[in-house]
A and B are shown apart, each in its own frame.
Chain A
């Protein structure tokens, strides 16, 4: 069964970097994913598509402070030079046989 696992929460200081993790279930380590950001009381925003080889393609207007990388079944989102507006929920997402799967989301707090 295709499942994406994310830590419920993360925190980092203003101006620092943070690395969020999304783990693909066993047997799905070659899957690509997408990362989406959801700021409080807003609709989600597409950040990037991330392939198993670590190549990633940011959405329109997404700054290069947001980058992606991969290792085995792990997919990472790194945010550098953290800003207050980066405080949000971050969801990873992929798809299987005619269905779409979301991770449970990571709530990022900027200290």
Chain B
């Protein structure tokens, strides 16, 4: 069955970096766009970034543009989110989500999330 599992979260100081991973299984990873969505404690969902099925197109929320980079390794069925210059307001659970297709901006499978805490 389709599964996406996030990892790499933790506690990090403001200004530092962190790299999240999302391991995908149960589907042909290279034929789907993928997304990162986050949820601050007690708040709603906020889309972070997307990457097309072939990695040629990348999209970012204004709040992370220039600091975060989304990438994928189809040989390892893995999605990444490189987060640099982290801020306290980046504290959230980060979810990996599969797109409905090549790049539709709708999500049909979500992971359980990984918690990132930015604190001094």
Residues of A whose CB lies within 8 Å of any CB of B are 34, 36, 38, 42-46, 49, 59-60, 91, 93, 95, 98-105
Could you say which residues of chain B place their CB within 8 Å of the CB of A102?
Answer: 44-47
Number of interface residues of B (CB under 8 A): 22
Pairwise interchain contact A44-B45, C-beta atoms closer than 8 A: yes
One of B8-16, B76-84, B99-107 at the interface: B99-107
User: Smallest CB-CB separation from A33: which chain B residue?
Assistant: B106
- In the assembly, what is the distance between CA of A95 and CA of B50, in Å? 12
Say whether chain A's binding surface is mostly helix, strand, loop, or mixed.
strand
Pairwise interchain contact B105-A95, C-beta atoms closer than 8 A: yes
Residues of B whose CB lies within 8 Å of any CB of A are 2, 35, 37, 44-47, 50, 59, 61, 95, 97, 100, 105-113
A-B complex: 8 closest residue pairs judged by Cβ atoms: A95-B105, A100-B47, A102-B45, A43-B112, A46-B108, A43-B110, A34-B106, A44-B110
Pairwise interchain contact B50-A43, C-beta atoms closer than 8 A: no
Q: Given A59-B108, A104-B44, A105-B44, A98 and B59 touching (CB < 8 A)?
A: yes
Q: Given A42-B112, A49-B100, A100 and B44 touching (CB < 8 A)?
A: no
Could you say which residues of chain B place their CB within 8 Å of the CB of A100?
Answer: 35, 37, 47, 50, 105
Could you say which residues of chain A place their CB within 8 Å of the CB of B47?
Answer: 99-102
Could you say which residues of chain B place their CB within 8 Å of the CB of A36?
Answer: 45, 107, 110
Contact with B107, one of A34, A60, A98, A104 (Cβ below 8 angstroms): A34
Pairwise interchain contact A91-B100, C-beta atoms closer than 8 A: no
Could you say which residues of chain B place their CB within 8 Å of the CB of A93?
Answer: 45, 106-107
Could you say which residues of chain A place their CB within 8 Å of the CB of B111?
Answer: 43
Q: What are 18 A-B contacts with C-beta separation under 8 Å?
A: A34-B107, A36-B45, A44-B37, A44-B95, A45-B110, A46-B106, A46-B107, A46-B109, A46-B110, A49-B106, A93-B106, A95-B106, A100-B35, A100-B47, A100-B105, A102-B44, A102-B45, A105-B44
